[in-house]
Structures are given as structure tokens and as C-alpha cells.
Copies of this chain bind each other. A is one copy, B any other.
Amino acid sequence: MEAIEILNQHKLRVTNTRLLVLNFLMAQQKAFSHADLEIQFSKQINRVSIYRVLYTFLACKILCKFVDSNARVLYVFSAQSQHQDEHPHFKCNQCDQVIHLPQLPQDYIALLKEHQVEQLHLLVEGVCKDCLGEEKMK
């Protein structure tokens, strides 16, 4: 799907800023921080606008947001409506690729049955299949 279609689908105005950011994020399965995007678009978009575009996309669930182990907030495109709620992510430490993971098994959550679970944030970091493959090639 095209970026412009996605904006229309969510009844968002089609602006240059939004197209730039969305096309960029759609082009790769990587997660970016605000700082990353700020550098990427330093000549074209104001920092504050980037914050606002991210905020808007997040509200529409065009993007997923998660926090890495260094408390960096990362944004990644999520082929929309596919991932409704908060879900686990795998992030490759080498290529920064992000993979959306299935929910945790119920029997683990059942361990917590005395408590009422509201949210569950899981981030797995490591080396992805592709990068492992490349290492073997060498």
C-alpha cells in the first residue's frame, strides 16, 4: 500500500512532511528514534514537526512505539491494523531490524494470576537470522 493511501484511510491530511516520514519508515523494517529522524530530515522538516507527525501516526496505529533498554523511544512502521495492541518486539543489535512477535504464552501470564495484568512490554534484543547468516558467509 502507498503512503498516500494510508493517510487517506486514516483521514489525515496529505502533507509533504507526513509523506516524507511515512515513506521513509515504510521503506525499511527498522526502528528509529526521534533523533534519528531529526538527522535524516534536518534540512527539510522542523524537529517539532517530527514529534507531532510521530504522535499522529501513533494515535492511528500506523506506527508501533517501544522503548529499548537504553530508554530510547523507537518507532517502527507496522503494516496497520495487523497489530492492534501492544505486542513484543525483537530488535537486531546489528542491522536494527525489528520483528513483531506473537504474544506471550498464557501459562506464563498465569504465573501472575494473583495480580491483574494490564500491560506487558517485552523487548528481545539479539542478532537476527539474516545477520547470523551473513556472519557464516565470511
Contact = CB atoms under 8 A, between A and B. Distances in A.
Contact of A105 (B90, B108, B121, B127): B108
Interface stretch (A3-11, A56-64, A65-73): A65-73
Interface stretch (A15-23, A45-53, A109-117): A109-117
A34 B115 CA distance: 27
B102 A128 contact: no
Contact of A125 (B104, B111, B121): B121
A86 to B, nearest CB: 8
The size class of the interface chain A forms with chain B is: 35 or more
Contacts of A127: 115-116, 118
* Residue among A115, A120, A123, A132 with max Cβ neighbours from chain B (10 Å): A115
Contact of A90 (B93, B102, B115): B115
A93 to B, nearest CB: 6
A122 interface: yes
Interface in A31-89: 67-73
A67 B110 CA distance: 23
Contacts of A70: 67
Nearest to A121: B123
